[in-house]
Amino acid sequence: MIEISNVIKTYKAGNKAIRKLNIQIADGEFVFIVGRSGSGKSTLLKMLMKEVEPTSGHIIVNGVNLQKMPRRLVPKYRRRLGMVFQDFKLLKDRNIYENVAFAQRVIGVPPRRIKENVPEMLKLVGLSSKYKFYPNQLSGGEQQRVAIARALINNPEVLLADEPTGNLDRQNADEIMELLAEINAQGTTVIVVTHSQEIVDSMKKRVITMDKGMVVSDKRGGEICEIQHNLL
């Protein structure tokens, strides 16, 4: 259960990124967050992973109040999340295998298990043959798939994905979304920020539309998404 209550975020520059946000997301839900560039989608995800602090209001994730969490517990909290970033955030000085394995090392998975899990995961995202490559030797889409592999490998409680398909062609994007749906089917809460109308339409899931730091529409899955196209 994720509860976002009366959250306001004003950046130092005086940028009102989030004006007032109230969102509830149940366990195991699959939610799209859409909206214009600059509407505060990434800021919302960053607050959920405690990279950015809300100016006011509070966020509760699976019973933990993020604003009351002591700093030293932040790493532990983040290990329960899977995160896919707009800019991938891969470790440039490590190869693909190491990038994915690193996430497992962080949570203390025994090396023997890592050796089994990582190739399996890389196979799932279709990068088995390139495990020795470094991030700068991969295309944007391939890097994004590495990032997804890294986010999924620890079976997170919540998966936060900021434009996971932004750099992928249609077929690749569909494959990734299928992967996310699969992970969601296993019980992981999935929150995906996207600009792609096609993906939103094809998945028939809950869609939260943001504009200027506020929720302007929140449609349950199955509803016809005649959301304001001008906001995508």
Partner 1 sequence: MFSLASVATISACIFLFCLFFSIIANIRNIAYLAETTIGVTVFFDDGMTEEEILALGDQIAQRPEVKEMNYISAEQAWESFQAEYFAGMEELAEGFAEDNPLASSASYEIFLKDISQQNTMVSYLQSLEGVRKVNYSNDLVAGFTNLNRLVGILSVVIIGLLLAVSVFLISNTIHVAAAFRKTENQIMRLIGATNFMIRAPFVVEGVVLGLAGALIPLGATYILYGRMVEYVGERFSGTAGGMGGVLRILPLEALFPTMAAVAMALGVGIGFFVSFFTIRKHLKV
Ligand X SMILES: Nc1ncnc2c1ncn2[C@@H]1O[C@H](COP(=O)(O)OP(=O)(O)OP(=O)(O)O)[C@@H](O)[C@H]1O
How far apart are the C-alpha atoms of 200 and 41, rounded to whole Å? 15
What is the footprint of ligand X within residues 74-93 (CB under 6 A)?
86
Applying CB under 6 A, does 13 fall inside the site for ligand X?
yes
Beta bridge partners of 34: 209
Interacting residues of 71 by C-beta distance below 8 A, sequence separation 6+: none
- Report in angstroms how near the CB of residue 42 gets to Mg ion at its nearest: 3
Applying CB under 8 A, does 64 fall inside the site for partner 1?
no
- Please report, for residues 111, 187, 202, 203, 227, the alpha-carbon distance to residue 222 in angstroms, rounded to integers and kept in the order given: 43, 20, 10, 9, 13
Report the residue number, 90 or 225, with the smaller CB distance to partner 1. Answer: 90
Applying CB under 6 A, does 11 fall inside the site for ligand X?
yes
Report the residue number, 33 or 101, with the smaller CB distance to partner 1. Answer: 101
Residues 6-45 vs Mg ion: string with x where CB under 5 A? ------------------------------------x---
Which of 3, 69, 102, 174 lies at the binding interface for partner 1 (CB under 8 A)? 102
Beta strand extents in 36-91 (DSSP E only): 56-61, 64-65, 81-84
Q: By Cβ distance, which residue is nearest to Mg ion?
A: 42
Applying CB under 6 A, does 55 fall inside the site for ligand X?
no
Which of the listed partners (Mg ion, partner 1, ligand X, none) does 83 bind, with a CB threshold of 5 to 8 Å by partner kind? partner 1
CA 195 to chain CA mean position, Å: 14
Give which of 19, 143, 163, 50 is closest to 89, Cα–Cα: 143
How far apart are the C-alpha atoms of 128 and 113, rounded to whole Å? 17
Which of 17, 147, 149, 203 lies at the binding interface for ligand X (CB under 6 A)? 17
Report the residue number, 104 or 209, with the smaller CB distance to ligand X. Answer: 209
Helix extents (H) in the chain: 41-48, 74-79, 96-106, 111-124, 140-152, 170-185, 197-203
Q: Which stretch binds ligand X (CB under 6 A): 30-38, 67-75, 114-122, 221-229?
A: 30-38
- Strands of 16-25's sheet, edge to edge? 64-65, 56-61, 2-10, 16-25, 214-219, 206-211, 30-35, 189-193, 158-162, 81-84
**What residue ranges bind partner 1 (CB under 8 A)?**
49, 51, 71, 74-79, 81, 83, 85, 89-93, 102-103, 106-107, 150
List contacts with ligand X (CB under 6 A): 11, 13, 15, 17, 35, 37-43, 86
